[in-house]
């Protein structure tokens, strides 16, 4: 993999991925305390802001049209700049409207970078190396999450919210400026179509992407809520689980990438969905704090397996369709974020087990669907 590491695009994606992770994790870590302690917001305000944060992900398909006037790697750097500026400005506008505006700026930057990151990885690295690159980027993201968490923990008693936001936002903006000064492209790369692409032959990619997004929402909306509501996990305990998750993913993500190369997408995704069925059913039945913590860690680990959906597309898709298809896929992945948490919340009030049983059913449907993967390789 030394040859891969020497590629300018690899270094470009490494720096911007670290910046992207630092920005999102800093926002997530600081948001609730800043919103309550400084801005004085109530639950209804926080709910709206969290919903607004997902809008750019839903609009990721518009990146195709932005690329009509901005080259894709430039859009990556500009997105990171937007993330840094939005985060840095958060502390300067301590109001409900201020948080809405800075959140949307930050979120557009994060989501549009994630879209171009996936696309550039599939364009610049072949079928044998792209899973490793995805795994390596996930690993670095996990390490970055831990680093920014430790940093905030250490400086929180010393600096104000404004100073912390400006410091981290400025660092991210500096990384973006570095990215804007780079030219990591290769003239031999297949030109991308600059229009929306929907093709019947990509139906399985679309379907698995949607189901993955739905499953992600159940995890994000209800898994931690289960830990806190039913098992009385403290902030410190949830934070400890977060650190454990990222430590494991730092070492495990590259191995998952290698397993995709060795065993193929169908086998890897089949393993994921088979185990998820049992994880979701166990969430609905578990009575032990230790067991539910283990389930949470396992659930988080299997986020990494989603990279196999994208490498599957790389094998079956037209190389000219990668950029528009990743943008469309990112939007499809976020469709569930629009309605699933609200519906799941209503069902939780009826019986907290229902969202998890629904997650198990969705995993079963995905397991059946993924048997349709045919790439002519190990899958």
In this predicted structure, what is the pLDDT of residue 31? 85
For 10-183, CATH gives: 1.20.1250.20
Give the global pTM.
0.88
Could you tell me the residue ranges of all domains in the chain?
Answer: 10-183, 195-379
Query: Which of 65-69, 202-206, 344-348, 350-354 is least confident?
Result: 344-348
149 pLDDT exceeds 90? Answer: no
State the pLDDT confidence band at 235, using cuts at 50, 70 and 90: low
Ramachandran area for residue 264 (φ above 0: left; ψ -120 to 50: alpha; else beta): left
121: phi then psi, degrees, rounded to nearest 5? -65, -45
The whole-angstrom separation of Cα 141 and Cα 144 is 5
For the CA atoms of 328, 330, 336, 341, the dihedral, rounded to the nearest 10 degrees, stands at -150
pLDDT tens profile 292-344? 999 999 998 988 898 999 999 999 999 999 999 999 988 898 887 777 777 88
Average pLDDT, stretch 86-99?
A: 94
Query: Which of 81-85, 102-106, 239-243 is least confident?
Result: 239-243
Q: Is 109 within 8 Å of 129 (Cβ atoms)?
A: no
Give the list of residues 6+ apart from residue 318 with CB closer than 8 angstroms, or none.
Answer: none
In this predicted structure, what is the pLDDT of residue 376? 60
User: Which DSSP category does 377 fall into?
Assistant: S
Largest CA distance in the chain: 57
377 pLDDT exceeds 80? Answer: no
Six-digit token string for 41: 């917001």
The whole-angstrom separation of Cα 263 and Cα 358 is 29
The whole-angstrom separation of Cα 248 and Cα 348 is 30
The whole-angstrom separation of Cα 22 and Cα 111 is 14
Q: Is 348 within 8 Å of 228 (Cβ atoms)?
A: no
The whole-angstrom separation of Cα 147 and Cα 155 is 12
**Nearest 5°: CA angle at 140, between 134 and 146?**
140
State the pLDDT confidence band at 42, using cuts at 50, 70 and 90: confident
Give the list of residues 6+ apart from residue 7 with CB closer than 8 angstroms, or none.
Answer: 124, 125, 184
State the pLDDT confidence band at 219, using cuts at 50, 70 and 90: confident
Distance of CA 333 to the CA centre of its chain: 10
List Cα–Cα distances, 238 to 226, 233, 234, 285, 296, in angstroms.
Answer: 11, 6, 6, 20, 10
The whole-angstrom separation of Cα 341 and Cα 331 is 17
Is 114 or 217 the better-scoring residue by pLDDT?
114
CATH superfamily of 195-379: MFS general substrate transporter like domains (1.20.1250.20)
Q: What is the mean pLDDT of the chain?
A: 90
Query: Which of 59-68, 244-253, 263-272, 277-286 is least confident?
Result: 59-68
67: phi then psi, degrees, rounded to nearest 5? -70, -5
Domains 10-183 and 195-379 in one fold: yes
Residues written for the chain:
379
């Amino acid at each position: 993999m030394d040859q891969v590491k020497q590629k300018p695009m690899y270094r470009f994606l490494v720096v911007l991925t670290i910046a992207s992770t630092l920005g999102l994790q800093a926002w997530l870590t600081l948001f609730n305390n800043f919103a309550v302690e400084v801005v004085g917001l109530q639950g209804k305000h926080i709910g709206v802001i969290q919903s607004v944060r997902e809008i750019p992900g839903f609009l990721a398909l518009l990146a195709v049209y932005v690329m009509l006037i901005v080259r894709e790697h430039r859009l990556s750097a500009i997105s990171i700049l937007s993330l840094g500026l939005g985060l840095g400005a958060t502390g300067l506008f301590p109001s409900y409207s201020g948080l809405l505006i800075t959140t949307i700026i930050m979120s557009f930057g994060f989501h549009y970078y994630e879209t171009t990151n996936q696309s550039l990885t599939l364009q610049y690295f072949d079928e044998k190396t792209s899973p490793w690159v995805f795994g390596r980027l996930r690993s670095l993201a996990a390490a970055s999450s831990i680093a920014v968490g430790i940093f905030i923990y250490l400086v929180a008693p010393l600096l104000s919210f404004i100073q912390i936001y400006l410091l981290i936002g400025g660092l991210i903006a500096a990384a973006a400026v570095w990215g804007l000064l780079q030219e990591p492209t290769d003239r031999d790369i297949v030109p991308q179509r600059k229009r929306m692409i929907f093709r019947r032959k990509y139906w399985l990619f679309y379907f698995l992407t949607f189901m993955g997004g739905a499953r992600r929402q159940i995890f994000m909306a209800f898994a931690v809520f289960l830990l806190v509501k039913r098992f009385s996990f403290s902030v410190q305990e949830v934070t400890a689980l977060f650190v454990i998750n990222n430590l494991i993913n730092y070492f495990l993500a590259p191995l998952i990438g290698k397993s995709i190369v060795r065993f193929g997408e169908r086998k890897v995704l089949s393993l994921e969905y088979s185990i998820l069925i049992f994880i979701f059913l166990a969430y609905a039945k578990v009575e032990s704090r230790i067991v539910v913590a283990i389930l949470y860690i396992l659930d988080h680990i299997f986020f990494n397996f989603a990279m196999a959906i994208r490498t599957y597309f790389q094998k079956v898709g037209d190389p000219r369709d990668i950029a528009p298809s990743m943008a469309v896929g990112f939007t499809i992945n976020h469709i569930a974020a629009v309605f699933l948490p609200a519906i799941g919340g209503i069902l939780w009030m009826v019986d907290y087990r229902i969202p998890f049983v629904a997650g198990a059913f969705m995993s079963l449907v995905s397991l059946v669907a993924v048997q349709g993967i045919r790439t002519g390789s190990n899958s």
